[in-house]
Amino acid sequence: SYVLTQPPSVSVARGKTATITCGGDDIGSKAVHWYQQMPGQAPIMVIHYDSDRPSGIPERFSGSNSGNTATLTISRVEAGDEADYYCQVWDSDTEHVVFGGRTKLTVL
Amino acid sequence: QVQLVQSGAEVKKPGSSVKVSCKGSGDTFSTYALIWVRQAPGQGLEWMGGVIPTFSTAKYAEKFQDRVTITPDKSTNTAYMELSNLRPEDTAIYYCARGTILTGWGSWGQGTLVTVS
C-alpha cells in the first residue's frame, strides 16, 4: 500500500516560514491535498491539487510537489496557525484514499 | 459552501453495530464522492472507505473490509456508514467528507463520536 511520511512535529517562530514535508514514492505524479485540523474541530482543506488554495484560505499558505516530496509552506506564521496538518493523495493502484501521519505545528 | 450534517454521538457495547448518517445539501452524490474517515483519540486521520461515482460499488480500506458498509441514499442526500462487531478500539470520531479524488475533500461533517464500552 502507498505510504505518506510526514515529520511528527515542526516548530517555527511567529512571523517566520514553516515548511511541512510529505514524502511518498513518486508523489510528484499524484495530486496532493493538505488539511489543517484545530483541536476539537473537523479538518479543513488548505491546499488542493498540489498548490491551489480553496476560497478563504490566506495567501500565506502555499504548496509544491515534485519527485518524492510534497511541501506545505506557511509564510509569516501566526499563532492561529498552530494545528495538526495532514497531506493526502489518491492511490490509483489500490483505489484508496491515503493520509499522511500528521504533523503538529507549534508556533514559538 | 456545502454543509454536511452528521448524526449525534453514540455509546455502544462491544460486539454491537453502529450506523452513522451524513446528510448533505445540494447535489452531493451525483457528481461528488463521499468518504468516511475516523480519528481515534490522539491519533491521525484514517480512511475507512467511500462511495465514488466513478465506481459501481463502495470502496473500503482493507482494515475495515469485512466490518463496514457505506450506503448512499440519493433521494435524501444522505450517506450512511455502518460498522459492525464493534471493539473498544473503534472508539473514535467518525467524519464524512465530500469531494473528488482529483481535488480532495473540501467539505467535512462535524464528526460523530462513537464510544465502545
Number of H helices, E strands in chain A: 0, 9
Query: pLDDT > 90: what percent of chain A?
Result: 100
Query: Contact, A105 vs A83, CB < 8 A?
Result: yes
- The residue behind cell 491546499 is A47
Nearest to A86 among B44, B55, B95 (CB): B44
Q: Confidence band (pLDDT; 50, 70, 90) for B88?
A: very high
State the distance between the two ends of chain B, measured CA to CA, in whole angstroms: 36
Q: Does B106 touch chain A (CB under 8 A)?
A: yes
Per-residue pLDDT at A91 exceeds 90? yes
A75/chain B closest Cα distance in angstroms: 22
Per-residue pLDDT at B55 exceeds 90? no
Nearest to B104 among A42, A48, A95 (CB): A48
Helix, strand and coil content of chain B, in percent to the nearest 5, comes to 10, 50, 40
Whole-number Å distance between alpha carbons of A42 and B68: 22
Partner A, chain B 27-46, Cβ-Cβ below 8 Å:
35, 37, 44-46
